[in-house]
A and B are shown apart, each in its own frame.
Chain A
Amino acid sequence: MGKLKQLQNIFLQSLLEPNLALIDAIDGAPAEKLERLAIYQDGYFYRLYNALVDNFPLLASIMYEDEFSQLITAYIRNYPSHERGLQFFGQQLPNFIRSYYLNNEFLYLSEVAALDVALLSASLAANQSVWQFESLTRLTEQQLEQLNLQFAAHVTCLEFKYNIIELWSSEQLNTLDPVKLDSTQTILIWRKGLVNQYRVISNDLEQQVLKFVLAGVNFNAFCEYLNVNLAAHEEKIGLILQQWVSDELLLNDVKLTNY
């Protein structure tokens, strides 16, 4: 296996940062060896490039073609794929954008990329059991106390400093200018049934509850927090949770056999 491992190491390196280290291992005339290796080097690059074009439609449409091309080319060189499928390639692009552009005026691109990732994630996330009103009513008091309040895998919460939702909602993404908002905008993106949904969370109370749930708590701790800090808003919080159940946001990790 030693020779095979060494060969594969050289081969992969010649794809990640195109070089000619593999040439001696290839059969054929010198010029032909270069052509044959180039088929793999080009194939590697364009497969990942096309995946990023597919996975980041909003980012691609808001950027000039050559700028987008330079950005994703740099990403491919910096973040080789560990993903099983190409549909998941590019998860680190929002982070990469923040380091790629030294000028802060391009930070909105990171938020657009994060929106692309969230929408793709909502579409592809594995099916999970979510709380329905009917299943919640069947819980015992003890189960209710131990209930974890957490979002299902298809739910993403984003915070935007720019008018990304306004840009996204416009018919032509590149007809509006990005504008920094006066305050951060919180967005929930999720899948209900087979259709992606989103909602701007403008209610302060809902934002507060959202942060609490994102921190990972059980229902008991949530109720304690509620009694101490938000007792006056109990009814409104009940409505928020009802909305979340109706939107199929909350993961049901209680085994059915416990009923």
Chain B
Amino acid sequence: MLPPLNGFGLKLRHEHYQEILINPPQLDWFEILSEDYLNVGGNNRYYLEQISQRFPIAMHGVSLSLGGCDPLDLNYLTDIKQLARDINAVHISDHLCWTTHNQLNSHDLLPIPYTAEAVQHIAKRICQTQDFLEQAILVENVSSYLNYSSSELSEWEFINAMLAESNCLLLLDINNVYVNSVNYGFDPLDYIRGLDLSKVAQIHLAGHTQQGKYLIDTHDAPVSQAVWQLYQSTLQLLGRVPPVLLERDDNVPTLAELVAELDIARSLSRG
């Protein structure tokens, strides 16, 4: 069981720390990039502690390397567990990808082949992670730019198998589904319809950038019209509104602008 989390949230940005405390925005929760706050003091830690006393915080990491072949980093997991306790985090999530190999960090969410071998490998690591953290984690589908010739399953078939084998929950990133649909030429609604939607515990929305004939998941622009449409269709298929988060990592606008964009997500959820 996860602690309850409802409503609409924003990714916490250092540009907005002071404003959040002085003039708390009309939103329900914040998400943090876990790595920005692990073993870190000073401003980041100070403001996180202050903000976590006023808003629920979800932790979103990029370093678990669930698809990787290095042993799980127990020091990292220990730090994640400690931070989650310190700020009373409501969700802990990471990505369906690999990031490190031979202790080298690519600092990217690298794709995994959609094979039966990879399902077993990742599910085992998710179970180990959940046992260590003593709670279910959320795993996010990622944007990707290449698929492997060895893949045996579609991405959504792979995700379903992973969810069934590991008992984790799905952080469904609608922008990533759309980006992949363009990059690989499939219907994004086929992807959504193909998923086990009962496992969706959180939704992410973000902007992307066109680069040649590919879309890149840059989080540097407002949510595109196509992604808003896919979001609406997804909510209809879900029949409920999970916690929804708007991410922005570059070209960060004012807090008011982000709250206004989040309000679009809120109004679309009303049907």
- Inter-subunit contact B41/A127 (CB<8 Å): yes
For residue A16, which residues in chain B have a CB less than 8 angstroms away from its CB? 104
User: Using an 8 Å CB-CB cutoff, how does the interface string of B16-37 with A read, 1 for contact, 0 for none?
Assistant: 0000000000000000000110
Q: Does B54 contact A (CB under 8 A)?
A: no
Seen from chain A, the residues whose Cβ lies within 8 Å of a Cβ on chain B are: 1, 3-5, 7-9, 11-12, 15-16, 24-28, 33, 35-37, 39-40, 43-44, 47-48, 51, 80-87, 89, 122-128, 154, 191, 194
Please state if B102 and A12 are interface contacts (CB–CB under 8 Å).
yes
Are B98 and A44 closer than 8 Å at their CB atoms?
no
Interface pair A83/B105, CB less than 8 Å apart: yes
Q: Name which residue of chain B comes closest to A82, CB basis.
A: B103
In contact, A87 and B36 (Cβ under 8 angstroms): yes
A206 CA to B220 CA, complexed, in Å: 49
B198 within 8 Å of A by Cβ?
no
How far, in angstroms, from A87 to B145 measured CA to CA in the complex? 26
Query: Across the interface, do A40 and B110 meet the contact criterion of CB distance under 8 Å?
Result: yes
Q: Does B132 contact A (CB under 8 A)?
A: no
Contact call B106/A44, Cβ cutoff below 8 A: yes
Interface size on B, residues (CB 8 A): 44
Q: Determine whether the beta carbon of A3 is less than 8 Å from that of B150.
A: yes
Give complex CA distance A43, B38 in Å. 24
Cβ–Cβ < 8 Å partners of A5 in chain B:
69
Whether the pair B41, A12 counts as a contact (CB closer than 8 A) is no
For A40, the chain B residues whose CB sits under 8 A away are 108, 110, 145-146
Query: Which of chain B's residues have a CB closer than 8 A to the CB of A27?
Result: 146-149, 151
Shortest Cβ gap from B63 to chain A (Å): 5
Q: Are B145 and A9 closer than 8 Å at their CB atoms?
A: no
CB-nearest residue of chain B to A10: B101
Q: A8-B69, A12-B101 are in contact. Are A81 and B110 (CB under 8 A)?
A: no
Q: B44-78: contact bitstring with A at CB < 8 Å (1 yes, 0 no)?
A: 11100000000000000001000111000000100
Q: Which of B5-13, B210-218, B252-260 contacts A (4 or more CB under 8 A)?
A: B210-218
Q: How far is the CA of A80 from the CA of B113 in the complex (A)?
A: 24
CB-CB < 8 A to B103: which residues of A? 82
Contact digits for B108-137, partner A, Cβ 8 Å, 1 yes 0 no: 101011010110010000000000000000
Task: Verify B121–A4 contact, CB threshold 8 A.
Answer: yes
Q: Which of B68, B108, B147 contacts A8 (CB 8 A)?
A: B68
Candidates A12, A26, A47, A86; contact of B146 at CB < 8 Å: A26
When A25-B148, A26-B148, A84-B76 are in contact, do A7 and B41 touch as well, CB less than 8 Å? no
For B214, give its contact among A35, A84, A123 (CB under 8 Å): A35
